[in-house]
Amino acid sequence: MWKGRFAKDTSTLVQDFGESISYDWRLYPHDVAGSIAHARAQLNAGLLNDEEFSQIEKGLREIEVDIREGRFEFRTSLEDIHMNIEAELTKRIGAAGGKLHTARSRNDQVATDTRLYCRTQIDSMLEAITALQNVLLDQSDKNAAAVMPGYTHLQRGQPVTVGHHLLAYVEMLERDKGRMADCRKRLNVSPLGSGALAGSTINLDREAIAKELGFDGITHNSMDAIADRDYIAELLFAISMMGVHLSRLSEDLILWCSSEFGFVTLSDEHTTGSSLMPQKKNPDVCEITRGKTGRLVGNLMNLLVAMKGLPITYNRDLQEDKPPLFDSVDTILLVLAVNTEMIGAMEMRQDRCLAAASDPMLLATDLADALVKSGVPFRSAHELVGKAVAESVESGVPLDELDLEKIDEAYTPEMKSVFSLQTALAARTNTGAPSIENVKREVERWRACL
């Protein structure tokens, strides 16, 4: 690439240290697409004739097939996917291949390739997220009326339904999709034509190149176009945030399938046993999901730290943007797929959920609300119910069996009616609340949305 300037070959150790072909080879379909669009612009500008363009396009397509089918031999001495493809093209078609890099730098080439890669992977992730949302909806529908405790501080709080609980994760995943879509929109501009940092004196039709590659437009500052890796950082954040959501879902499932909770049974296909304890059935998918989230967050930190001290425009440090990107994309797609399969196969134990929700303490707030409806200020009602709870704990008499009128005259016999799970849920009709009818409507709304 630079033999005219250097008298000695690069040391083998430096080649090994600086190569990126061991991981950036996977950009090959995007590199081929970008090169064909660039060559077409050269043709339209009179830099190539029809025969030369045909040779370049045909040669690149053949190389693409060879790579896809595992027949292509990558060379570390050529550093990266761009030079491996260009060198092979020139070897196959001769002088025309040497013209391809006219008015282009590896700097704008890699910026184009990574944008195309991110765009493709975002589309795959959006499909995978929707698939997970759909199985969560199926479980929400099946368990729309299955009552369970809702928790704060991992302590029983108020009654909800399993369907309502699972729909919370559908909401989270929809926000993840929104972040992905926003990221896709921002990255979908073409930097090709920005050159090394200052464009080129050979002006090609950048808009035509962008249109051929499916970009919405072009970048407008050549230096920023080369330096920009915001879109990768943004995508890694979106993936990390989604990982956090899936980790929280995993934590719920880990608790639910423990003997202490017993709310869910995961299928044999999605659990493992113990090499020592024959009775064990471990939620390894959930645990590995939870563990991989740290890896996703670490990849984001990796890139941000690499970027933070770089002057614009291109610095070789930016070569380190791809390992965390590729790893996070591969990881989250696998996490989404395995969780979709696992959640689709799990069975909620509605009897255990109902037994846990039948603790009358879960309706203490409803009792306070009943006092408020009778004219008692909420803070006073809160105190009165607190006294009743303390009496229940001390005496061992369940809250719904206490003689509340002996505690305070503000209590009336009718207030005992609050100790009904069905009544309590039916009263929660505000949008976003867990009445069974609300849950069923939300399931149908989400099905229409998805």
Question: Residue 251 contacts by C-beta under 8 Å, 6 or more apart in sequence?
Answer: 286, 290
Instruction: Print burial letters for 366-388: b (CB count within 10 Å at least 16), e (below 16).
Output: bbbbbbeeeebeeeebbebbeeb
CA distances (Å), 213 to each of 35, 112, 117, 201, 365, in order? 10, 10, 12, 23, 58
Q: At what angle do helices 378-395 and 364-373 cross, to 10 degrees?
A: 140
**Long-range contacts, stretch 317-322, CB < 8 angstroms, 24+ apart:** 318/229, 319/18, 319/20, 321/114, 321/229, 321/232, 322/20, 322/23, 322/24, 322/27, 322/114
- The secondary structure of residue 391, as a DSSP letter, is H
Cα gap 71→225, rounded to integer Å: 34
Give the Cα separation of 379 and 410 in Å (integer).
13
**124 catalytic, yes or no?**
no
CB contact set of 10 (below 8 Å; sequence gap of 6+): 18, 77
C-alpha 104/C-alpha 1 separation (Å) is 13
Catalytic pick from 124, 258, 267, 274? 274
Give the alpha-carbon dihedral of 233, 235, 240, 245, to 10 degrees. Answer: 150
Give the active site residue among 153, 220, 259, 275. 153
3-state secondary structure of 307: helix
One-character DSSP codes across 308-362: TTPPSS--GGGGGGHHHHHHHHHHHHHHHHHHHHHHHH-EE-HHHHHHHHT-GGG
DSSP 8-state code for residue 49:
-
CA 347 to chain centre: 25
Identify whether the C-beta of residue 125 lies closer than 8 Å to the C-beta of residue 144: no
Is 140 designated active site? no
CA 343 – CA 238 distance, rounded (Å): 22
Nearest to 324 by CA among 307, 292, 305, 302: 302
3-state SS, residue 388: helix
Q: Please, what sign has the CA dihedral across residues 21, 23, 25, 28?
A: negative
Catalytic residues: 153, 274
